[in-house]
Amino acid sequence: MERIRNEAIRAKVTTAQAAAAYIKNGMTVGASGFTSIGYPKAIPAELAKRAESGEDLGITLITGGNVGDQIDGVLARAGVLRRRYGYQNNKDLRALINADQVKYVDTHVSHVPYMIKNGYLGKIDVAILEVAGVDEEGRLISTLALGINDILAKYADKIILEVNDTVPEAVEGMHDVFTLERAPHTQVIPILRPNDRIGSPYIPCDPDKIVAVVRTNGLDANQNMKEPDADMEAIASHVLCFLKNEIKSGRLPAPLPPFQSGVGGVANAVLMGLAKSDLENLTVYTEVMQDAVVALIDAGKVNSACGTALTISPAAREAFYAKIDQYKGKIILRPQEISNAPEVIRRLSVIAMNTAIEVDLAGNVNSTHIGGVNIMNGLGGSADYTRNSGLSVFSTASTAKNGAISCIVPHVSHVDHTEHDTEIIVTEQGIADLRGLTAYERADVLIEKCAHPKFRPELREYIREARAKAKGFHGIL
């Protein structure tokens, strides 16, 4: 089928080079993409080419989530990136950020759309949106990453579309676009279950703002999932055991509230553990759905799931695309302003599961910085969920660097989640339930349940010293 069903917009198809000409030195550019899928690929290459051939070309780039090397890497290496807003996880970009050569501002995923529409980041000169297609009325059909596409379509001055032929056309209808107006307008987000439809499958877009359309066929650069290792399996098993006990004690209902699950191996292992468990009627209200969510649906465990991106690993992609229709009605793709909305997260009592780089004895979590100095990736949506969840779980292996350092530390070198927001900490050693505990009590349970046995004596000694120096050590750690 013709992907561009609107004639006026079809007439704007041009070359990537011609389209990229709309982007000039000093501009602020917004781009689609989330978890390294659905990001523009052709225009960034043209921009890099221009910079490499000597043009003075520097831009501010805003994305909703992390994007592939074809944009962050290509632009970083060509020196085109001057400022960068949004989550990122590109190796070359990170090096420039940590050398202060690219100005990077790490922002909650739910705040990015809010900041754009209120002008907190200045105006967006051009948005580059990869899309699956355009409908008869000129409305946009997103890829499997919706992110901030609705916000960019509405608030950018000019729009360039990359219509990518590798995106399955059957994605049409999986989106539920519901865009909140800015203040003083006030509006309920009427979601009561993860698969409630409250909007339209299409993104409205003023056709006059679309200045160019490029046809592309580059594949997304997201990676295959690694098989869970023994530590991940142990963490998943502790979490499952804990959840079952919570149901038994009456603190959590059965069926459980929806799960949010961070990206990566541990998250994947926990969800795969759920697929094999005897828990039934599970639901998912999350930022990114990965392979495990599809597995949970296939296993008959989940009938209602949503997120702002559905990121299938390359190995599983073809098989999934072939049967994508059977997931419609069960999986919904939402704008990130909705997937990460405090309103819905609290309303649904979401169980938030995220990963930590290190956890301190008071329960503060560092999830972004190595040694407090160098940023790893960014905060992502972890705090959107943690802060407003019904139950917040953080996991980490008890040690890093092949066991050389403890991930349970006296004092984290950077606080991303405060002691007031973390409830359950889990390592391969065990699980610490911090709810209702004082700072000293939290320290004890973290040492005895989560720290690696070889680091426990030192951590106990730290607490003994802290206690001797300052009787109520609230915060001294």
Instruction: Give residues 265-284 in contact with a second copy (rule: CB under 8 A).
Output: none
Among 249, 401, 402, 404, which residue interacts with a second copy (rule: CB under 8 A)? 249
Please, which residues have CB within 8 angstroms of residue 249's CB and are 6 or more apart in sequence?
Answer: none
Where in 162-181 is the site for a second copy (CB under 8 A)? none
Where in 103-122 is the site for a second copy (CB under 8 A)? 103-108, 111, 114-115, 118-122
Among 10, 49, 82, 182, which residue interacts with a second copy (rule: CB under 8 A)? 182
CB of 349 to a second copy, least distance (A): 4
Tokens of 122: 């200045």
CB of 134 to a second copy, least distance (A): 30
Q: Which stretch binds a second copy (CB under 8 A): 46-54, 156-164, 209-217, 465-473?
A: 465-473
Residue 470 is a binding residue for a second copy (CB under 8 A): yes
Tokens of 81: 């990136």
Q: Which residues pair with 129 in a beta bridge?
A: 161
CB of 256 to a second copy, least distance (A): 8
Q: Please, which residue, 21 or 370, has the CB nearer to a second copy?
A: 370
The SS3 assignment for 72 reads helix
Alpha helix ranges (H) inside 289-381: 291-298, 314-322, 336-339, 342-347
- CA 69/CA 75 separation, integer angstroms: 9
Q: Please, which residue, 44 or 258, has the CB nearer to a second copy?
A: 258
Q: How many residues does the chain have?
A: 477
* Residue 214: DSSP 8-state: E
CB of 228 to a second copy, least distance (A): 28
Q: Which stretch binds a second copy (CB under 8 A): 44-52, 231-239, 250-258, 399-407?
A: 250-258
Q: Please, which residue, 139 or 442, has the CB nearer to a second copy?
A: 442
CB of 244 to a second copy, least distance (A): 16
Residue 314 is a binding residue for a second copy (CB under 8 A): no
Q: Which stretch binds a second copy (CB under 8 A): 166-174, 187-195, 205-213, 447-455?
A: 187-195
- CA 453/CA 90 separation, integer angstroms: 35
CB of 92 to a second copy, least distance (A): 14
# binding residues, a second copy (CB under 8 A): 78
Q: Please, which residue, 108 or 158, has the CB nearer to a second copy?
A: 108
Residue 252 is a binding residue for a second copy (CB under 8 A): yes
Ramachandran region of residue 29, left (φ > 0), alpha (ψ -120 to 50) or beta?
beta
- CA 50/CA 28 separation, integer angstroms: 17
Contact (CB, 8 A) for 42 and 128: no
Catalytically active residues are 287
Radius of gyration of the chain (CA): 23
Residue 248 is a binding residue for a second copy (CB under 8 A): no
Residue 413 is a binding residue for a second copy (CB under 8 A): yes
289 φ, ψ (degrees, to nearest 5): -95, 125
- DSSP state string for 357-417: SEEETTS-EE-SEETTTEE-S--TTHHHHHHH-SEEEEE--SEETTTTEESEESS-SS-SB
Where in 318-377 is the site for a second copy (CB under 8 A)? 341-343, 345-349, 364, 368-369, 372-375
Mark 417-436 with x for binding to a second copy (rule: CB under 8 A) and - for no binding. Answer: xx-xx-x-----------xx
- DSSP state string for 201-238: SSB---GGGEEEEEEE-PPP-PPPPPPP-HHHHHHHHH
